[in-house]
Structure 1
Amino acid sequence: MSIEVRKANFDDFSAFKMLWQFYQYHQSSFSLEDIDEQGKFYIDESYLEEVLRGQDECNAYIVLSEQLIVGFVTVEPTEIMGEEMPELSDIFILPKYRNQGIAQLVIELLMHTKEYNEWHVAVYRNDKNALSFWEKHFKQSNYSGVKKVKTSDSEEFHEFVVQNA
């Protein structure tokens, strides 16, 4: 299986916007968000446009398997406990492609870089599947440390600071 993670650009806007709808649908079971009168989840399209045009600090990536779009990931700068670090803020893999190691590979490609020593990961408190995935990932991957942290957002999220080996 050939997996590619490439930086998204404005040409990806339609696909990225649709993937974000699927992502919002998945999240709605714990975010409790409703759809609008057009049957869509709210998406700040102007923000997505800024991200894809490189006009925001958030970086979006398209995940491909055998050259087919299978998901996305976003990385943005954040400050946790007085330190600036990147946050792997969103990751979404289409259900058909889950349980094949794709998300694991994507995370390793992004987080195991020499550019950053620490990463922030936040998981919705009620997303038991995502929490289970991350806990398994932390045990199987080669990190020098994973520390659960509490911030002002910790009521809504499980938050971790991950240190590269």
Structure 2
Amino acid sequence: MKVELRPVPYAQKDLLSNLYQFYHYEFSPFTEEDMNEDGRFDANIDYFWEGDHRWNPFFIMLSGKIAGFAVVLFENLDTDPDPTHVIYDFMVLPKYRRTGVGSAAAKKALALFKADWAVAQMEKNTPAISFWRKVIGEFTGDAFKETYREDIKKFIQRFSTKSQTSA
């Protein structure tokens, strides 16, 4: 199994936008988001390519096929030269779940940047909470701190990859 992350160029924005429809559909039980009158979820991702260098979208590739996507956000790059990195969005297509593709892709994303990280999950999304606790625990040797933010109803794992030699 060869899992890779490939940066999403502007020319493939529509493809990523299509994948975001599945992402919003799957999240709708947690977000209670409705489709618009055109039968689509509102998913404007234009800003990923509009000169805001905080956004880093990647396709998750498995043997040359798109298996999902990940978006890494340099959260406070506009105010801090050493920004916290965030897995902003992450989705693996259902056919590839529970095969190791998601874990491999997540670890590759975390290994891309030497940084302080924060990864958050909605409290209602228990599969995501379990996934990220396991992945981050394996990736860091359980060297992470988790907090719960009542105001936003999210669990957040914080850790650093600044001192890691390689992952």
Greater mean deviation of Cα atoms: 154-163 or 58-67? 154-163
Deviation at 1:54, TM superposition (A): 5.7
Within 2, Cα distance between the matches of 1:84 and 1:4? 24
Sort the Cα spacing of 1:109 and 1:3 in 2 relative to 1 into closer, same or farther, 3 A. Answer: same
Sort the Cα spacing of 1:108 and 1:146 in 2 relative to 1 into closer, same or farther, 3 A. Answer: same
Q: Which residue does the alignment assign to 1:72?
A: 69
How does 1:103-118 map onto structure 2 within 5 Å? 103-113=102-112, 115-118=113-116
Structure 1 residues without counterparts, runs of 5 or longer = none
Within 1, Cα distance between the matches of 2:36 and 2:50? 28
Structure 2 residues without counterparts, runs of 5 or longer = none
Judge conservation of contact 1:63–1:72 (CA < 8 Å) in 2.
yes
Q: Which residue does the alignment assign to 1:3?
A: 3
How does 1:1-165 map onto structure 2 within 5 Å? 1-44=1-44, 48-51=45-48, 53=49, 55-56=51-52, 57-79=54-76, 84-113=83-112, 115-143=113-141, 145-149=143-147, 154-164=151-161, 165=164
Percent of aligned positions that are identical: 24
Higher strand proportion, which one? 1
SS in structure 2 of the partner of residue 145 of structure 1: coil
List, as ranges, runs of 4+ consecutive aligned residues in structure 1 with deviation greater than 4 Å. Answer: none
Q: CA RMSD in A?
A: 2.1
Judge conservation of contact 2:146–2:155 (CA < 8 Å) in 1.
yes
Within 2, Cα distance between the matches of 1:118 and 1:60? 18
Deviation at 1:149, TM superposition (A): 3.1
TM-score, normalization: structure 1? 0.85
Judge conservation of contact 2:59–2:70 (CA < 8 Å) in 1.
yes
SS in structure 1 of the partner of residue 88 of structure 2: strand
Within 2, Cα distance between the matches of 1:32 and 1:148? 26
TM-score, normalization: structure 2? 0.84
Judge conservation of contact 1:122–1:159 (CA < 8 Å) in 2.
yes
Number of matched pairs: 157
